[in-house]
Amino acid sequence: MIYQPIFESVQQHQVPEWFHDAKLGIFIHWGLFSVPAWATPSGDIDKQVVEKGWVDWFTNNAYAEWYLNSLRIEGSPTQRHHLETYGENFSYDDFVPMFNQAVEQWKPDEWAELFQKIGARYVVLTTKHHDGFLLWPSQSTSPQKTGPYATQRDLVGELTDAVRQRNMHMGLYYSGGLDWSFNEKPVREAVDVHGTIVQSPEFVAYSHAHWHELIDRYAPSVLWNDIGYPAAADVPELFAYFYNTVPHGIVNDRWSQAQPAGQRDAEEGIVALPVTHSDFTTPEYSAYDHIVEKKWESTRGIGHSFGYNQVEGVENYLSVEALIHSFVDIVSKNGNLLLNVGPTAEGAISTLQLERLLGLGAWLNVNGEAIFGTRPWVRFDGQTRDGIPTRYTQKEGSLYVILLGTPSSGEILLEKLEARTGATVSLVGSDASLAWQQRSDALSVELPGLNDSPAHVIKITPAPTLLE
């Protein structure tokens, strides 16, 4: 299909099967903020905002990639840290030569090899975060800066090549709304998020040209925009150009274009217009509580931050078990997990992050059959008779029952499931069939001795009936 530069045309785009099948992507937040690599480890954003509000969140921001914004908030922990560490005459821009020197040590092939090893099907890299610094040698860098505000090394291109050589899809993140090199007003509260989107004609042309440049140079599989887009920008033109250039490409849901100044809501400030088109939605540090028909992708860091935060310790990171349980839950509801990695400026991945990535990969190496290429079942959850939570996925006529725990006995009762005559029941990762019998309102399955694992998967072919 040839798409026209109007919403009515791009809205006809269908999510490609590769994204439905992929389930696991790796997000990478890397930039100038990776040099100081510092933020208050205040907690996950979803919980902190509910408990303490937006003003407290931005003052004590756990996102290390928001270092520049936090630095501009008077009296913030980040501002105090910066003054104590670097002194009052050290600006954020002074991190530019430090970062450019550090990235010379980076080996993109090692990243791609790791991501493939753990089972990721796609990778999304921050090409420009809110600070405005570019991770590729663009034809145009911020006109607000006296020197090139970009990497000398083509980090975007080198990683794209390494990822594709390992048969993974490559996506690109770009901060299309916020750019703190254009607008130095700090985000202090919720209204400022969309209220500080740069709306000048100069920035509209600048950001739109960057997206076109990224598409032309790297043909990304995903356009991952963040924090809205200028009101005057021609979004359907960009989408049509992208779809016509990359037929298997997809766009996320963070392209809302704020209403013009003056149309304000007393409580919320500038009201964001609904997103007119997206291929998938992107809840952050959260997940839906039901099966969602529209494709979605939950994104989060392994700790509280996306960018690497040297302050975070083991208590701030998900355990391997919690990560696997969250991932399984997301997949059971028609979602993908875009799991973030925050490298150091040199491109190293910390031990705590690496342990969790490899733990997830080891589990997928055994149980990936129940994840990749699957679709949601008629319901996403259930439980065994003794209270172990379960999640369901299905593929090729089989049902996968994922136990989020290890049974204490050699028999489990899967409530509300009725097996069909002649059904085969097996443990994923083992060739042996399991003995089963149907009880009145539950399927009884005899299990062998199970190894220590965050989750175990039972495969039932053909898929059983759900009892009401």
Residue 259 confidence (pLDDT) = 58
> If you average pLDDT over residues 106-121, what whole number do you get?
98
- Over residues 309-334, the mean pLDDT reads 98
pLDDT (average), residues 402-419: 95
Q: What is the mean pLDDT of residues 84-108?
A: 98
Confidence of residue 399 (pLDDT cuts 50, 70, 90): very high
Q: What is the pLDDT of residues 233-250, one digit of tens each?
A: 999 999 999 999 999 999
For residue 232, give the DSSP letter.
T
Across 90-108, average pLDDT: 98
Q: What structural domains does the chain harbor?
A: 7-370 (3.20.20.80), 381-466 (2.60.40.1180)
- Supply the pLDDT for residue 431: 82
231 vs 389: CA distance, rounded Å: 46
For Cα atoms 454, 458, 463, give the angle at the middle one, nearest 5 degrees.
Answer: 140
- Burial category of 291 from C-beta neighbours within 10 Å (exposed 0-12, middle 13-18, buried 19 and up): middle
H-state helical runs in 333-434: 351-367
Return the DSSP state at 21: H
Q: pLDDT grade, residue 152 (50/70/90)? A: very high
Query: What per-residue confidence (pLDDT) applies to 409?
Result: 87
Structure tokens at 6: 């109007």
Tokens read off for 220: 């990304």
* Secondary element (H or E) of residue 223: strand 222-226
The answer to whether 375 and 340 have CB atoms below 8 angstroms apart is no
Residue 317 vs residues 25, 120, 284, 302: alpha-carbon distances, Å:
18, 20, 16, 6
Full-model pTM: 0.96
User: Over pLDDT 90: what percentage of the chain?
Assistant: 91
3-state helix, strand, coil in the chain (%, to 5): 30, 20, 45
Determine the pLDDT at residue 275. Answer: 84
Q: Please give the pLDDT value at position 5.
A: 98
Residue 311 structure tokens: 């302050």
Q: What is the pLDDT of residue 88?
A: 93
Q: Which residues of 183-217 are buried (b: 16+ CB within 10 A; e: fewer)?
A: beebbbebbbbbbbbbbeeebbebbbebbeebbeb
Per-residue confidence (pLDDT) for residue 432, from 0 to 100 = 84
C-alpha 182/C-alpha 103 separation (Å) is 25
Over pLDDT 70: what percentage of the chain? Answer: 97
Average pLDDT over the chain, rounded to whole?
95
Using the CB atoms, write b or e for 41-61: b if 16+ within 10 Å: bbbbbeebbeeeebeebbbbb
Q: Are 277 and 14 in contact (CB under 8 A)?
A: no
CB 319 within 8 Å of CB 360: no
Reported as a single tens digit per residue, the pLDDT across 16-30 is 999 999 999 999 999
Question: Is the pLDDT at 267 greater than 80, yes or no?
Answer: no
The pLDDT assigned to 449 comes to 86
d(CA 55, CA 285): 19
Instruction: Compute the average pLDDT of residues 314-329.
Output: 98
With 70 as the cut, is the pLDDT of residue 266 above it? no
